Amino acid sequence: MSASAGDGLRYAYNTNGMTSHRLPDALALLADTGYDGVALTLDVAHHDPFAPRLAARTASLARRLDRLGLDSTVETGARFLLDPRRKHEPTLVTRDPAGRARRLAFLRLCVDIAADLGSEAVSFWAGAPAPGTDTSSGGTAWGHLVDGVRAVVAYATERGVVAAFEPEPGMLVEDCAGWSRLAARVPGLRLALDTGHCLVSGGLAPHRAVLNHARDLGAVAVEDMPRGRHEHRAPGEGDMDLPMVLGALRAVRYGGLVSLELSRDAHRADVLVPGALRALRHAERAGSDGAPDASAAHGVAGSPEGVR
């Protein structure tokens, strides 16, 4: 999706930062505040994909989103949905084939939900390899990952859903260079860019990641972070130059939802939901006049950044 140069960005808020709200209440708050959409993390608190009557609940949710005028993306990063005793496990790089199969089945289910909701994308990540796993480019972990991601992209393509892969600090693919290496082996894969992660993993500056990967973007998140620490923070509470990042998104005419993921701040969602939107709009206005030159992205977006 692209926007005309005069259009503003479209903002969403991740439901993993609203876990003290029932989902209907959370959606109503977002709509009443003025958000354009929701980043829906499928989890035990919100639209549990393993609870009964999933198809009926999804149809009802689609109608609710339509009534509220909210677009959506589907997020798959629930901490303990698949294993109540191990965070984020199993993953696409888990040693146990049954564990990898369970993650893949879950991701396919998320694609189905996204298709039924008319969501803009499904975002997913690699996972962290177990200690001792061969993580070289031709090693076991990368082999498992490529196989799993190819399967997700193929299924998403069948369902008409964008499959966007997110580099996560501490996981097998933790930066844009790793995404480029993966995308070279998985045609059709899009990038779920969390610009705050650029401050943690290094490599590209957040706004430069937007410019270099303008043609690859399938989903975007812009929460703040302190440099070198993977801590999701509200706008203005970290080290990201938010006006520059939002200016870059406008410069490349990004029209998808731009979300905030504040999963550790559900206790203050009543304050952050409206406050963050005000901060985003203020930063967007501040960055619109000094936005980076979008021509810097032409010819390099989607090209490998090199392997490291």
Tens digit of each residue's pLDDT, the chain (308 residues): 444 334 799 999 999 999 999 999 999 999 999 999 999 999 999 999 999 999 999 999 999 999 999 999 999 999 999 999 999 999 999 999 999 999 999 999 999 999 999 999 999 999 999 999 999 999 999 999 999 999 999 999 999 999 999 999 999 999 999 999 999 999 999 999 999 999 999 889 999 999 999 999 999 999 999 999 999 999 999 999 999 999 999 999 999 999 999 999 999 999 999 999 999 999 999 988 765 655 433 332 332 222 22
Candidates 242, 302, 266, 307; CA nearest to 9 is: 242
At CA 304, angle to CA 303 and CA 306, rounded to 5?
Answer: 150
β 71-75/37-41 pair status: parallel
- Output the pLDDT for position 5: 38
- Output the pLDDT for position 302: 32
Tell me the HSE value of 142 on the side-chain side, using a 13 A CA sphere. 16
**Proportion of the chain in helix, strand, coil states, percent, rounded to 5:** 40, 15, 45
State the Rg of the chain over Cα: 18
Local structure of 261: helix, strand or coil: coil
- Output the pLDDT for position 7: 78
Tokens 């089945």 map to which residue? 105
* Distance from C-alpha of 305 to C-alpha of 238, rounded to nearest angstrom: 26
Neighbouring residues of 56: CB distance < 8 A, sequence distance ≥ 6: none
- Output the pLDDT for position 295: 45
- Output the pLDDT for position 25: 98
* Distance from C-alpha of 198 to C-alpha of 269, rounded to nearest angstrom: 25
In terms of Cβ atoms closer than 10 Å to its own Cβ (0-12, 13-18, 19+), residue 162 is buried
Q: Tell me how far apart the 2 most distant CA atoms of the chain are, in Å.
A: 52
- Output the pLDDT for position 1: 45
For the stretch 275-282, contacts whose Cβ atoms lie closer than 8 Å and that sit 24 or more positions apart, written own/partner, are 275/234, 276/13, 276/234, 276/235, 277/11, 277/13, 277/33, 277/34, 277/35, 279/234, 279/235, 279/236, 279/242, 280/9, 280/11, 280/222, 280/235, 280/242, 280/246, 281/8, 281/11
